[in-house]
Amino acid sequence: MISVLIADDSMIFRRLMREALMRIDGCEIVGEASNGRLALEKITGLQPDLVTLDLEMPVLGGMDVLTQLKMEPRMPAVVVISAHTLRGSEITIKALECGAFDFITKPQTGSPEAARDQLMHALKPILKSLAIRRDVRSILQNPVSRGPVAPPGEESPEGGVQTQRRVASSGEGSSGIGYPAIRNSGAGSAPADRQQHPATDRHRTPAGPVSGREQVLPAGAERTPSSDSVMIRARPAQKPGLLVIGISTGGPNALSELIPALPGDLGIPVLIVQHMPPLFTRSLADSLNKKSALTVIEAEAGMTVQPNWVYVAPGGRHMRAVAMINGGIGLQITDDAPENNCRPSVDYLFRSVAQHLPGKALAVIMTGMGNDGTLGVRLLKRTGSMCLIQDEATCVVYGMPRAVAEAGLADGAVPLTMMAAAVTRIIR
């Protein structure tokens, strides 16, 4: 059972949230708060697993609450509630960079029943992910399950059959298609053998490209410059001319660490698909631009990409890369049908890169629910491109990277803190 505290100054919205949560199995509402100060007091006393946090409350605002929670030894998962406005998107991005688990926007419908259902649809996959994260961490903390790990059903080094430690999680959710009560993370339902679970034990050794066992360097492979524990397979035959990144839940926080760590003279363009609705991607790009040596903008139709520039796909729309007659790379922005229940979709972008720029890209799949990006990575790999994934230990949700790893498509699993160094070394 996931315990939830509702923090919002609106009595009407608290009632809608309460009714939505009561319709979700495995959820227990333990309290409500009408302002930030009261929320902190109840969080301390009730120790909820999840806090739904309105960002604009009296007495103490949502950002102040989040900042104080970060200093606590046990911080609950926080889902921020955002207004679908420019100001709402800006403060939401700050909250996500500050460690919020996810966000949803307040419904914009006049019907209470419709608003309740939209909230329920947005919250259900978040609660499933949190339940799985709690269960997996509980298993990992059990001394019986510690030690070398074999895949489920296989014999462990000590003999006997290894207990299954990876628990599947629903990849339901939207990513910019239905804007009311929209979730940050996007994912269609992943196959049963390739569904995701949130990151588990932060102290585990990062997994290698395909398995979590000790990696042996094949001929021509190299380790990243910062750690002997991370292996990257041999570099591609030609230097990448484009960096493409796919990311979802936990993305703003991860990108705020990766993008500012890349050098301003990286030498190639960067394209990013972050599952988000409109307005929020522009705020994300603006926030990253203020912190980075690279120039970061939200992509627009007809742009010709430039080296040392980062282009974020606009929320609620697809982004496609095309080869131009003059040898450059152009961007097309479309309203084509969602893929993997996502728009923008990682697969959509990666497929266009594989088609128009074969063998010229370095792909990176980072934290997020579902399996968006796996098919696109497969196409990129067929053309000779490389793919790195964010390792399990540093993902908020190890869904998209896990799908790539289990498909045998990852050339390296890299901790978030080392991703910029790994990417830069491959590009240069």
Residues taking part in catalysis: 248, 275, 372
Strand partners, 312: 272, 298
Residues 407, 303: Cα–Cα separation, whole Å: 33
Stated as kind and residue range, the H or E segment containing 378 is: helix 374-382
Q: What angle do CA 73, 77, 82 make, to 5 degrees?
A: 130
Tokens of 208: 């290698």
Residues 283, 105: Cα–Cα separation, whole Å: 15
Tokens of 426: 């491959």
Burial of 226 per CB tally in 10 Å (0-12, 13-18, 19+)? middle
Q: Please name which of 298, 293, 327 lies closest in space to residue 308, comparing C-alpha atoms.
A: 293
HSE-up (13 A, CA, CB side) for residue 365? 37
For residue 5, the SS3 value is strand
Structural contact between residues 387 and 380, judged by C-beta atoms closer than 8 angstroms: yes
Contacts of 45 (CB under 8 A, 6+ apart): none
Q: What type of residue is 72?
A: E
What are the DSSP calls for 261-302, one per residue?
GS-TT--S-EEEEE---TTHHHHHHHHHHHH-SSEEEE--TT
Contacts of 367 (CB under 8 A, 6+ apart): 199, 247, 248, 249, 250, 251, 254, 390, 394, 395, 396, 397, 398, 400, 401
Residues 386, 391: Cα–Cα separation, whole Å: 16
Residue with tokens 């839940």: 249
Residues 287, 256: Cα–Cα separation, whole Å: 8
Residue with tokens 């979590």: 212
